[in-house]
Structure formats: C-alpha cells, structure tokens
C-alpha cells in the first residue's frame, strides 16, 4: 500500500520520545507524529497523551524524499462544524477600507504604526532623544573613569607586579 499525503490510517505507537511518537502503519512502515501534531492544546509531555501499543488514527501530512513520513493525530480527527471558528465581524469603531490603516494616503499627524491615533508625547516624561543623550553621557563618564583607573597603574589593565 502506497502512503500518500492526506490519507488517514490506523497505526500502533511503537516508540515515544520528547519530541513526538513513532507510529507503525503497516508492512513495517513507520512514521513520526511530532509533539505539535498530537493534540489541539499544548502538549508538554507526550506520555500524558500516548502510551506504547496504543492504536491511533493518523493523517499523513508529508512524505520526504528519503522516506520519512510525517503524521498528525490532531488533523485526523474530524471536527464538527460548530467547533470551527466563525469569521471575525468587522469592528464598527474602525474605518473600512482596502488597507489596515483606514485606506488613503497622507499622514495628517497620525502615526500609522500606533493604529491611527495622533502622536502626543506625554507631558513631564522625557522623550526618547532625551533618554538617549542622558544614556550616552553616563556611559562616556563611566568609560573615562575606567580608563583612568586602569591606565594609571603599572602594567595597565590590572597586571600584577612581580
């Protein structure tokens, strides 16, 4: 039987590792179910979900040229239509348009990266440029004091006298 991407098969868990589980499909063909393909929720330990010799239904998600077979348990489970996420409704407080930022060009004092809100620096708080200049001044003072303390001694850079 040829293993094709998209087919659902039954297999037996033959090995468990920290990154997934090996499943024997048929005729000695083995595939790997990666830890991310075991369940819809977060899987910390594969042993919490699977045991050796468990019979599981898997879906073939890829077949590599070198014969490695990628399997998925969570994709093999048919979900009812009620569990599928409905599409998101448009928000009434956002403008509808072709692009994410309300369509049209021109800045008009609005910062597009901030969701179209006008940018106003907070009163009393230093701006980025102020913070940066203060940082540079402090770091230059620290470097100069380090140089004075290390270069003034014999041997420089903390070498011991013998």
What are the tens digits of pLDDT across the range 51-105?
Answer: 999 999 999 999 998 989 999 999 988 776 655 566 677 777 666 555 555 555 5
First-residue to last-residue Cα distance in the chain: 80
- CATH number of the domain bearing residue 29: 2.40.50.140
pTM: 0.49
Q: Is 127 among the domain residues?
A: no
pLDDT greater than 90 at residue 21: yes
Could you tell me if residue 123 is inside a domain? no
Tokens of 79: 């979900």
The parent domain of residue 54 ranges over 8-72
Is residue 58 assigned to a domain?
yes
The number of domains in the chain is 1
Residue 106 has pLDDT above 70, yes or no: no
Window from 13-27, 113-127, 135-149 with minimum mean pLDDT: 113-127
Asked, for residue 96, whether it belongs to a domain, the answer is no
Q: Report if residue 141 sits inside a domain.
A: no
């Amino acid at each position: 039987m040829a293993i094709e991407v998209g087919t659902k098969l039954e297999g037996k868990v033959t090995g468990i590792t920290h990154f997934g589980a090996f499943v024997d499909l048929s005729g000695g063909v083995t595939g790997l179910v990666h830890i991310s393909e075991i369940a819809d929720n977060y899987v910390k330990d594969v042993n919490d979900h699977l045991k050796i010799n468990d019979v599981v239904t898997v879906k073939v998600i890829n077949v590599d040229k070198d014969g490695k077979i990628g399997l998925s348990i969570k994709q093999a489970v048919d979900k009812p239509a009620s569990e599928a996420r409905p599409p998101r409704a448009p928000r009434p407080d956002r403008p509808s348009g072709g692009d994410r930022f309300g369509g049209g060009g021109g800045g008009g004092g609005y910062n597009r990266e901030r969701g179209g809100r006008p940018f106003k620096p907070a009163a009393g708080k230093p701006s980025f440029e102020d913070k940066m200049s203060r940082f540079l001044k402090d770091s230059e003072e620290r470097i100069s004091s380090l140089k004075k303390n290390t270069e003034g001694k014999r041997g420089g850079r903390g070498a011991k006298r013998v």
